[in-house]
Amino acid sequence: MVEKGERSIFAYFPSSTKAENAIEALQQAGFPEASLRRVSRFGAMHDASYDNALTGQAETLTGLALFSANTDRQTNQSERILMAADPSVSGMSARGYGVAGDTPFAVIAFAPEARVEEAVQILEKHGAKV
């Protein structure tokens, strides 16, 4: 919750590693309130145990491309079909479409009014789109 005299900052990252590094840098600079969230236009959650192609655990193509492997195969069949039809899954999306993986990680941070620019600079230094 934003306290009086405080502002919230939303920053978006291409990878969780960059986002986590930014959070660590914010905390070292005295901004203790920052959290990481995954963003999806489908409202599906990332399930690393199924989406890791390097370990052979990719259950579905949409799980890899849209981080949606946790959608139930039986009850959400229509949802899975619609996600699979998204152009970003095929890799043939139109230019500027917003291919999955562009900036799917959001960092939400809180800073006193007087230190907002400092926090934004830290986030941008670590690759954020603010």
Model pLDDT for residues 39-71, shown as the tens digit of each residue: 766 555 545 444 555 666 655 555 555 555 555
Q: How many domains does the chain have?
A: 1
Residue 104 lies in a domain: yes
Q: Residue 36 is inside which H or E element, if any?
A: strand 34-38
Q: Which residue has the tokens 């039809």?
A: 85
Question: CA-to-CA distance for 96 and 124, rounded, in angstroms?
Answer: 22
More confidently predicted of 37 and 38:
37
Supply the range of the domain harboring residue 12: 6-125
Residue 42 lies in a domain: yes
Q: What is the pLDDT of residue 95?
A: 57
Question: CA-to-CA distance for 100 and 6, rounded, in angstroms?
Answer: 32
pTM: 0.61
Model pLDDT for residues 80-127, shown as the tens digit of each residue: 666 667 666 666 655 555 544 578 788 999 999 999 999 999 999 999
HSE-up (13 A, CA, CB side) for residue 97: 13
Q: What is the pLDDT of residue 66?
A: 55
Residue 1 lies in a domain: no
**pLDDT at residue 13 tops 80:** yes
Q: What is the pLDDT of residue 2?
A: 76
Q: Please, which residues have CB within 8 angstroms of residue 17's CB and are 6 or more apart in sequence?
A: none
Please state at what angle helix 116-125 crosses helix 16-28, rounded to 10 degrees.
Answer: 140
User: Long-range CB contacts (< 8 A, 24+ apart) of 16-20?
Assistant: 16/105, 18/105, 18/126, 18/127, 18/128, 19/105, 19/106, 19/107, 19/126, 19/128
Helix, strand, coil proportions of the chain in percent (round to 5)?
40, 15, 45
Residue 130 lies in a domain: no
